[in-house]
Structure formats: C-alpha cells, structure tokens
Amino acid sequence: MGTLDGKVALVSGSGRGIGREIALKLASEGAAVVVNDLDPEPATQTEQDIKAAGGQAVACVGSVTEDGFAERFVNTAVESFGGLDIIVNNAGYTWDTVIQKMTDEQWDTILDVHLKAPFRILRAAQPYIKANPTDYHRKVVNVSSAAGVFGNPGQSNYAAAKAGVIGLTKTLAKEWGRYKVNVNAVAFGFILTRMTEAVSGDDTFVEIGGRKIKAGVSQAVMDRVKTSNPLGRPGTPAEAAGAVYVLCAPETDYVSGQCLNVDAGSR
C-alpha cells in the first residue's frame, strides 16, 4: 500500500524532467495522476510508464497558459478519477537576459507560465474543493526557485515570477486552511535537467511554445555549481521530486504556508 492510495493528483509540466519524476513518484505511492505537457509525446510516454508500473494516469495535453486550460485540467481529474486531492504547479521554463535587453514579451511570457498559470489552476480548483470536503488533508505544492528567494543575474522575469509563487503560496495557505488544504512551495536550486546540462561550443536550443529557447549552461558554470554546493554536485530530478512528495504525504498535515529550499544548503 502507498501513502497516497486513493488520492488524485494534477502535475503540470510532467512530461519531462522534474515534473515527470514528480508524476512517477506520486503514482508509485498510489496516486492517480493527471499528466500534462505542451507536447503529446512526452505526456503520453509518462502516462504509459505509470500504467506499465501498475499505476493510474491520464494525459491532459496543452499549454498551462491557454485560456480555459485550468478548467480542463481540473475537470480531467474529476471526470477521469472522481476527485482532486493534490495539485503540483510545476510547468515552466526560463527565457533569460539582463533587464536592459529584456522585452515585454519575455517578461510577460515567463510571468504567465510561472505565476498566472498556477493562479488560474488554483482558482479553477477552488469550487470543487469547497463543495467536496474531506476527512483528510488535500495538498498543493507550488514550484518556486532559489532565484525567487535570492535573485539571479539575467533572470529578473523568472525571479519575479518565482517570488510571486511564494506570495501566492503563503496567501492560499491562509485562505484554504479552512478547507483542510496544506499549501506549500519548494524552491529548487540547481537541478540537472535538459535546461541546465553543461554544453560546450555552439549554443543549444529547445523549442517551447513555438519559440527557440536557449538551453544548457557552460562548463564553467557547472564547475562553479559543483564547487559552491556543499554536496559537490547538482541535484537530480528524482531528488527534487522527493521533496515535493514529502509535502504531499500525510506526515506533513501540519505544515502549511512554507517554502522548502531544495538546494543542498547552497545559500
């Protein structure tokens, strides 16, 4: 038996990287998971991998920034699995430059995906949560970042959005406590994903939402991460997922309104 048997979880951005590991971890503990990604292939792959391991999953493909997505996401959980108990707002990416070179489009795009989308998903979930009380605690985990706590050069848009996530988290913890919902955040440090892998030579790009976004970091940056991190290495997506799982487990029923730094003590 898993600690999350019978629970239903939404995990945005769960086709790849950290989000995929979060979905796999929650499913391994018994949760039925609504998997989401911009693209059908990674979302379907995560769904299939969960089912192959004996779990329950369904894919809800689309951008978290699309009008109407939040309602469709919530409805998928209720219609597919009969409930909604866990929300993990994880979807996002970075689009970096220094402030004097940052366009309004860059600013708005990153604020939309990291802050407006979680707001919309939580707003869409509130009527169901209010109308369907439980004798156990529901959980919300919003993914923030060390950049939102400490700032990071070249990421004014991302840092502002992730700082906003912490404010949203603390406010919802106060609003939703009466519904027996714990609302917390995780602030990830350097976690090794396709966006943070060390690259050399020509720039590496990934396509996200029709835009080519620079991915990866230089070997010099990776070396600095290793020397400044007390554990001497970046975190893994599975380790990041473990921190999210802890905040979804019954053992944290009296933890709410908190932001857990997941950075090996780097700051």
Alpha-carbon span 21 to 186, nearest angstrom: 15
- Whether residue 147 contacts residue 161, with contact meaning beta carbons closer than 8 Å, is answered with no
Instruction: Give the phi and the psi of residue 146 in degrees, each rounded to 5.
Output: -60, -30
Burial of 55 (C-beta count, 10 Å sphere; 0-12/13-18/19+): buried
* Residue from 118, 233, 133 nearest 184 by CA: 118
- Whether residue 5 contacts residue 84, with contact meaning beta carbons closer than 8 Å, is answered with no
Tokens 């917390």 sit on residue: 184
- Whether residue 90 contacts residue 21, with contact meaning beta carbons closer than 8 Å, is answered with no
> Catalytic pick from 93, 128, 136, 158?
158
Residues paired with residue 143 on neighbouring β-strands, in sequence order: 186
Task: Let me know if 245 is a catalytic residue.
Answer: no
| Catalytic sites, residue numbers | 158
